[in-house]
Amino acid sequence: MEGNDEPSGDLRCSFCSKESSQVRRLIAGPAACICDECIDVCSEVVRNDGDAEEEGNGAVDDDGEVDDEEVDDDGEVDEDGEVDGDEDDDGEEDETEPTAPSSPTAVALDAALVEWVGARWVAAAPRLGLDDDARAAGVLLLAAELVPEIHRRVSGDDAVTAAPRRSDLLRALAADLGEERAAAGLAALEERGIAAPLAAYAGPWLEAEMELDRRVRAYCMGAVPPPVAPLAGPYPLPRVEAALAHAVGRCRHEAPRLLILLRGRAGSGRDLALRRILGALGVSAIRRSPHELRQPNNPFEPELSGAAAIWDPRRADPSPDDYDVARRWLARSATAAFALLDRHQDAPDVEGRIQILVDVDPVDAAERRQGWEAALRSLGAPRAIIEAAAAELCHRGRCGAGLAQRVALMIAADAPARGTAELVAAAAEALATLVRPSTLRGILIEHPTVPLERVIAPSGIVQALRQIVLVARLSAAVETPGRVGVKALFSGPSGTGKTMAARAVATALRLPLYRVDLASVVSKWIGETEKNLREALAAAEAAGAVLLFDEGDALLGKRGEVSHGTDRYANMEVSYLLQAVEAYDGIAVVTTNARGNVDSAFERRFDACIEFQPPAPRERALIWRQELGEAGQALPDALIAEIAKRADLHGGSIAVAARMARMLCLHGGRTSVAEQDLREAVRIELLKSGFSVHAARWVGAER
C-alpha cells in the first residue's frame, strides 16, 4: 500500500474510528487515514480476490459450513460466541455504536478503492501542472467523494451535505498543511477547473459544496483510453521499419522532447506506422483534427490520461490559427507527440520538441511490391500466386502499405481459391472502391472499354498512342531522378477523337479513367481550385487511374502580366498546376482545342504531344461504318463513300449523326438504317453545326 511508512501520531482511522499512534495517512491526504488492523484486513481481502464472507460474519470451514463462533467488531471471537458491541443482551442496539463499517470486507474494499483511485490521481497531478498542496487537496476531495466515512470526518459527524464544503476542506487541509498552503492547494484545483461548487449551489462562498470535475473523477475510477494494440509483426517496408524502430528507441529515453512526423500520400500507411510506434511504447492515444481542436474540448487532456497527442490534419487545409492551436496542444503531451501529414502539409513548430520525420511513401515499385506481398500474405493463398499478384499490382498504381492492407481485408473471403488473374482483378476492384472520390470533388469515374483499334486516325497518331501505352507500362521499371509518371498532351479541333483516344489508352492499360470536371474543380474562391486539384490528383494517383483533363486549356492557360488584382491569383493557379502535374506519379492526359493557348512551360513536361487532325474522306467512311454498326450493314459502300466525301464532319459529329440515323430507323419501324434515315441525320447535324445552305442539299427533293 502506497503511503507513509512511519506512524504519523495519534490520528483517527477513517474506517474504524480508532485513535492510535499506529494510524497512518492514506496516500497523502489529511483526514484520509487507516490503522494497522484495517490494513491487514485490506491485504487479506485483496489476496483472496475480494471474496465476501458468509452471512453472520462467521468463519467458513473446509466443508463450506459456518462455525458457531462469531466475530466481534474488532475481528476477535468471544468465548461465548457472541458478538461484542453490536447488540445488548436484550437485543437492542448499543447507542454508543461506532460509525465504522460493520463488515471488515467493506472496510478493506473502501481502503483498497481509495488507494487505487488515489494512486491514479497522484500520478496525473504532475502532468496537470499541480504542486504537492493541490495534489493533497485533490486526494482529500476524491476520498471524501468515494468513502462516506471520510466524507463524515471532513464535514463533521452531524453533517448532511451532499458534498464536502469549501470551509470543511480548508479546515481539514489546514490541520496537515497549514492555512496558507491549504488555501493555495484548493485554489489551484479550482483555477485549473478540477474542483468547483455544485451546479445548484447558491450561497456563501465558504459554505459552497465542492466536487471534482466528472472527467477527472472518471479517469481516477479507470475511464482511460486503452493502450494501442501493437502490430502483429514489423512494418511491411524494411526501410520504414528501420526509421520507426529508431523513433521508438528515442521515445524510450526522451519521449516528452519529441514530435514525430509521419508524412505520406493517402493510403501510404501512416496509421500503420503510428500503431507500430504506439504499440511498441504501450501508450494510449488521443487524436484530434483541426476542426475538432476548434471546438470546445476536454481541458484536461492529453495531460490527465498521459496519452500521446496526435494531430491529424489529413485531407484538410489548416489555417495559421489551426497551426497555432495544434502547436500549443501538442506541447501539452506528457509523452511523444505525433502529426499525420499529407505530402504538401507543413509540420507545426512545437517549442522544446525535436522533430523526427518518417516518410512512409513507397519510393519505387520494389517497395510497393513489398507492401502488396505483406498485405496479400494474410489471405492464405499460395506463395507463388501472392508474389505474381504483387508483381502485377505494384505497377497498377502508387498504392502504399496502408491501402494494400485495407484491400486485403476486403477480398479476404474467397482469396485462397483465386488464381493470380482473379486475385489481381479483385484487388484492383477493391482498390478502386476504396479510393473512389465523390463527383462533387470534380472527378467523373469511367471504366472504358474502347480498344485502340477503334481509334480511326492516321497511322502516325495510332503509333504514338501505342508508344504512350508502352511508356506507361515500363515507366516504373526505368527510374529517372526528377521525372515521374507519364504525361501526354492531345490537341486538335473539337470532335477529332482526343477524348476517345484517352479512353483507348486507359482500356489498353486496364485502368479506370478519372475525368476532371472543370466546372466542379475551378472555383471563384482563392485557394479552392488548388485544393480541388490536389484531391483529384491524390485520388487518381492512389488508384493508378488515367487522369484526363478534358479541355485542359482552361487550367493550363498562359500566364500573363499582372494588371489587375485577380491576375496574380490566376497566375498562381497555373503555377500550382504546373508543379502538381510535374510531381504527379501517374498517367495524365490533357486535351485542348488550341495548343497555342497552353503555357509553354507545360509542353516540356509532357512525354508525348499528339496533334489530332480532322479525318480525311477515307477515314470518315470508316468512322461511318463503325458508328452505324450492324444497323448500317445493308447500306452500299458507294453511298457511305459519297456521304463521307460530301459531308465534311469530324469524328464526334459523325458519331452523333449515326446515332440519330439509328433512332430514325427505329421510329420508322425498320431494323436496318435506310438511305433516307442517313441523309436526314446528316442534314440535322449540318444544321446544328451552322451549315444551313450545305444542309439544304441533303433534302430528298434535291438529291
Give the residue with greater pLDDT, 1 vs 206. 206
For residues 331 and 353, the answer to whether their CB atoms sit within 8 Å is yes
Q: What is the mean pLDDT of the chain?
A: 77
Verify that 26 and 137 share a domain, yes or no.
yes
Q: Which of 118-132, 350-364, 412-426, 566-580 has the lowest mean pLDDT?
A: 566-580
Q: Is residue 18 part of a domain?
A: yes
Indicate if the pLDDT at residue 502 is higher than 80.
yes
Q: What is the pLDDT of residue 330?
A: 95
Confidence of residue 74 (pLDDT cuts 50, 70, 90): very low
What's the pLDDT score for residue 36? 64
Q: Which of 359, 377, 412 is the last residue of a domain?
A: 359
Let me know the angle formed at the C-alpha of 396 by 394 and 398, rounded to the nearest 5 degrees.
Answer: 65
Where does residue 609 rank: exposed (0-12), middle (13-18), buried (19+ CB within 10 A)? middle
Write out the E strands in 332-402: 337-341, 354-359
Establish if 465 belongs to a structural domain.
yes
Whether 475 is in a domain gets the answer: yes
Q: What is the pLDDT of residue 257?
A: 93
What sign does the CA torsion over 623, 628, 629, 635 have? Answer: negative
376 and 297 share a domain? no
Cα 678 from Cα 621, distance rounded (Å)? 13
213-257 pLDDT, tens digit per residue, is: 999 988 988 888 888 888 888 999 999 999 999 999 999 999 999
Q: Greater confidence, 525 or 74?
A: 525
Give the per-residue pLDDT at 699: 47
- Domain check: are 546 and 654 in the same one? no
Pairing of strands 210-212, 258-263: unpaired
Q: Do the domain assignments include residue 112? A: yes
d(CA 403, CA 118): 44
Is residue 28 included in any domain, yes or no? yes
According to DSSP, the residues that pair with 546 across neighbouring strands are 513, 587
Q: What is the pLDDT of residue 486?
A: 85
The residue out of 220, 254, 288 marking a domain boundary is 220
Cβ distance 397 to 428 under 8 Å? no
318, 335, 359: which is the final residue of a domain? 359
* Domain match, 465 and 585 both: yes
Q: What is the mean pLDDT of residues 576-598?
A: 76
Cα distances (angstroms) measured from residue 445 to each of 188, 217, 543: 59, 52, 11
Look at residue 90 and tell me if it is in a domain: no
410 within domain boundaries: yes
The pLDDT of residue 95: 42
pLDDT band at 5 (very low <50, low <70, confident <90, very high): very low
pLDDT for res 570: 53
pLDDT at res. 373: 92
Q: Which residue has the higher pLDDT, 354 or 605?
A: 354
CA 52 to chain centroid: 47
| Average confidence (pLDDT) over 114-125 | 84
Sign of CA dihedral 304, 306, 312, 317: positive
Same domain assignment for residues 207 and 340: no
666 Cβ neighbours under 8 A, 6+ residues apart: none
What is the pLDDT at residue 690? Answer: 63
In this structure, of 131-135, 276-280, 674-678, the range with the lowest mean pLDDT score is 674-678
Residue 328 binned pLDDT confidence (cut-offs 50, 70, 90): very high
pLDDT at 239: 94
Whole-number Å distance between alpha carbons of 356 and 273: 13
Q: What is the mean pLDDT of residues 535-543?
A: 76
The CATH number given to whatever domain includes residue 631 is 1.10.8.60
300: domain CATH number is 3.40.50.300
3-state secondary structure of 58: coil
Domain of residue 427: give its range: 365-434
Across the range 17-34, mean pLDDT stands at: 55
- Asked if pLDDT for residue 3 goes beyond 60, the answer is no
Q: Are residues 560 and 686 both part of a single domain?
A: no
Tell me: the pLDDT tens digits for 609-631?
A: 888 888 888 888 888 888 888 88
Both 516 and 560 in one domain: the answer is yes
Q: Quick count: other Cβ atoms within 10 Å of Cβ 145? A: 18
Long-range contacts at 467-475 (CB < 8 A, ≥ 24 apart): 467/608, 468/505, 468/607, 468/608, 469/505, 469/508, 469/509, 471/607, 471/608, 472/505, 472/509, 472/587, 473/395, 473/509
Give how far Cα 681 sits from Cα of 81, 495, 648, 686, Å. 115, 17, 14, 9
In angstroms, rounded to a whole number, what is the distance separating the alpha carbons of residues 489 and 548? 10
**pLDDT score of 585 more than 60:** yes
Q: What is the pLDDT of residue 540?
A: 78
**Same domain, yes or no: 302 and 343:** yes
Cell numbers at 15, concatenated: 474506517
Any idea which of 246-250, 643-647, 689-693 has the lowest mean pLDDT? 689-693
Residues 390 and 252 in one domain: no
Lowest mean pLDDT among 212-226, 282-296, 336-350, 562-576: 562-576
Indicate whether 248 and 382 sit together in one domain.
no
**139: amino acid identity, one letter:** V
Comparison of pLDDT for 48 and 245, the residue scoring more: 245
34, 148, 150, 152, 614 from 99: Cα distances, Å:
14, 10, 11, 9, 103
Per-residue pLDDT tens over the stretch 386-443: 999 998 888 777 788 998 999 998 888 776 767 888 888 888 888 877 876 655 456 7
Q: Would you place residue 6 in the very low, low, confident or very high pLDDT band (cuts 50, 70, 90)?
A: very low
- Does a structural domain hold residue 394? yes
Q: Are 316 and 289 in contact (CB under 8 A)?
A: yes
28 shares a domain with 111: yes
* The pLDDT of residue 67 is above 70: no
- Between residues 45 and 498, which one has the greater pLDDT? 498
Q: How far apart are CA 261 and CA 359, in angstroms?
A: 8
Domain shared by 397 and 279, yes or no:
no
Whether residue 533 has pLDDT greater than 90: no
Task: Report how many domains make up the chain.
Answer: 5
